[in-house]
Structure 1
Amino acid sequence: MGIIDGLLNKIRPKGTPAESSDDYYEYCPHCYATLSLQKGYDPSLKYWVCKGCGEMLINPDIESDIVWICDECGAVMNEQEGFSEETPEWKCTECGFVNKIDPSEIYLTEDEFQAEARSPYRGLSDEDILELSLYQEQEYIGGKENVILVKHRETGELFIKKLLTIYNKSIYAYLMDHPISNMPRVIKMYESSNCLVVIEEYIKGKTVEAILESGLISEKKAVHITGEVCRILDDLHNLSTPIIHRDVKPSNIIIDDNENVYLLDMNVAKWFDPDKADDTRYMGTQYYAAPEQVGYGLSASSAKSDIYAVGMLLNVMITGKFPKEEKAAGAVWNVIERCISLDAENRYTAKELIAELKKLKDRKSAEEAYR
């Protein structure tokens, strides 16, 4: 909460009256920007955030060299009437949040303060942090700093640790207690002040995105993968309160070493509410997200929104492109076209799509046998 920072780097010595400010320039000790030229700056100010580097600076003419920041809104509490460092806690006059004035929470620099403020583990109990320390970080997955391969220090087992800032905690809690077949099991979760930390099962394999980097996927295999994804979605969509995945795409589907298909990433998933006419937040990935999912439909996102994404996925696996660029050829296009209908009511359910895909597979097998 409290920050001790560098003093203003001034030509005038401490104690020189502010009225003589026309005779000198002041510089930020961090980035050496000229403070005197920054809009709104005045040498009589007690505190100033440098517009060059964003660092909090303390005027050397004030008695305290500690800035006390509100943990809720970031206001400088030193400037609030009646504030004292001697009080054990202070109610911020800007936002009403009660802050503890704890000398153990003093940071030597703004960088230290910001690092702690952004820490994914901020606010966790000592017990939770001790549990998390058992998971030793190995590497980032897909270059994402919030998706990390970890190794349990005692068992040697591999897991995935995710640091989520967008999530529905109740969905992860449900999946931890009620695992869905062919989705990574949620092992543990911890909610900090900044994010949800999720430990989940590690699935070894290749994403469809990675497979596509090596070349297109045959229609037969693409239809099979799509059917397996639909089986997972059918389970999610037929819960007593359906879960809508909202982010079906190549990077969220993984094929393990035994050719089993898994659906990943539930961070933008939502519970289906039939009474809602629109989504509170528009979420999803461009081109895979259905019109209603991004605010252009006549209703909120639903199970049919996931089917739209599945149709896009099937076309991309076969052609490497979205339908507006290139349509899959033959009977499979008729199935894709219905999946991506602008009217959600015209799309298949997951169960209906499974049946249509089976017909395509049977027809393909019959054609191959005839040849």
Structure 2
Amino acid sequence: KSYDRSINRSVAVKAILSDEADPAEYAEALSRFRREAQAAGRLHHPNIVSIFEYGQDGGLAYIAMEFVKGRSLRDVLNETPKLDPEKALSIMQPMCAAFIHAHNGGVVHRDIKPANIMISDYGDVKVTDFGIARFESSDLTQEGEMLGTPSYMSPEQVLGKPVDRRSDIFSLGSMYYEMLSGQKAFSGSSMTEVIYAILNG
């Protein structure tokens, strides 16, 4: 959390430093970081965290974004693993509205999970972290590249195949299942077991 005097409000700041990784890793991280700013920055929706500024200062790259005072859906589920249907639906509906907007804008999130859904103290639902998002018209994900959080990945993501908005919809469904049942749709004691569960239902 930081305070931007130029706009007279609190902002959340996400940053990466060049000395945190070797040059090749930093270049890749910087590329994804910049893409997050570009993807989320082109989306203006009440249920998507707003991006105010992207910049670089020497070896520091940063994104200034809307500060959401509240907690993540992951925190909520850690406290109450199984939500009542009305509560789950009240979270799911604005999430769906956010992703309809993102998809209509040509942006695929690719890492939908409870930790990337913020719920403000006022009950507002906000989608954040477009760090591995891509534009549907782009070819940024190469064949064989697996990006995302395993428990919520679509089969296409697990196999490293190109994905589109349908992959996000699959992840949303997996998260909704968890909210209603109190357990992950696909689980296992290792990543291999999780991937097997996703591919074999």
What is the CA-CA distance between 1:177 and the residue it aligns to? 5.3
Root-mean-square deviation (Å): 3.0
Mapped to 1, the partners of 2:137 and 2:146 lie a distance apart of: 15
Pairing of 1:6-155 with structure 2 (within 5 A)? 149-152=1-4
Cα distance 1:174–1:207, how it changes in 2: closer, same or farther (>3 A)?
Answer: closer
Mapped to 1, the partners of 2:131 and 2:54 lie a distance apart of: 13
Cα distance 1:210–1:192, how it changes in 2: closer, same or farther (>3 A)?
Answer: same
Pairing of 1:284-295 with structure 2 (within 5 A)? 284-294=148-158
- TM-score w.r.t. structure 2 length? 0.74
Give the match for residue 159 of structure 1. 11
Match of 2:185 among 300, 323, 334: 323
Mapped to 1, the partners of 2:144 and 2:137 lie a distance apart of: 11
What is the CA-CA distance between 1:193 and the residue it aligns to? 6.2
1:218 aligns with 2:80: no
CA contact 1:161–1:197 (8 Å) conserved in 2: yes
Name stretches of at least 5 consecutive residues in structure 1 with no aligned partner.
1-148, 326-339, 343-371
Cα distance 1:174–1:204, how it changes in 2: closer, same or farther (>3 A)?
Answer: same
CA contact 1:279–1:293 (8 Å) conserved in 2: no
Which has a greater percent of helix?
2
Mapped to 2, the partners of 1:171 and 1:268 lie a distance apart of: 7
What is the CA-CA distance between 1:174 and the residue it aligns to? 5.6
Match of 1:267 among 115, 131, 148: 131
Match of 1:307 among 169, 173, 178: 169
Name stretches of at least 5 consecutive residues in structure 2 with no aligned partner.
17-28, 188-196
Match of 1:189 among 54, 76, 81: 54
CA contact 2:107–2:135 (8 Å) conserved in 1: yes
What is the CA-CA distance between 1:170 and the residue it aligns to? 4.7
1:206 aligns with 2:71: yes
Cα distance 1:157–1:291, how it changes in 2: closer, same or farther (>3 A)?
Answer: same
CA contact 1:237–1:303 (8 Å) conserved in 2: yes
Query: What is the aligned length?
Result: 177
Mapped to 1, the partners of 2:141 and 2:53 lie a distance apart of: 34
Cα distance 1:274–1:175, how it changes in 2: closer, same or farther (>3 A)?
Answer: closer
Question: Cα deviations across residues 238-280 of structure 1 (Å, max 9, x unaligned)?
Answer: 12xx111011111111111222211011111111137789557
CA contact 2:72–2:119 (8 Å) conserved in 1: yes
Mapped to 2, the partners of 1:172 and 1:274 lie a distance apart of: 16
Percent identity of equivalent pairs: 23
What is the CA-CA distance between 1:159 and the residue it aligns to? 1.1
What is the CA-CA distance between 1:322 and the residue it aligns to? 1.6
**Paired residue type of 2:99:** L
Mapped to 1, the partners of 2:42 and 2:141 lie a distance apart of: 30
What is the CA-CA distance between 1:178 and the residue it aligns to? 4.8
Mapped to 2, the partners of 1:226 and 1:277 lie a distance apart of: 27
Mapped to 2, the partners of 1:200 and 1:324 lie a distance apart of: 32
Mapped to 1, the partners of 2:71 and 2:141 lie a distance apart of: 37
Pairing of 1:173-184 with structure 2 (within 5 A)? 173=38, 175-176=40-41, 178-184=43-49
Larger radius of gyration: 1
Higher relative contact order (CA 8 A, sep 6+): 2
Cα distance 1:279–1:194, how it changes in 2: closer, same or farther (>3 A)?
Answer: farther
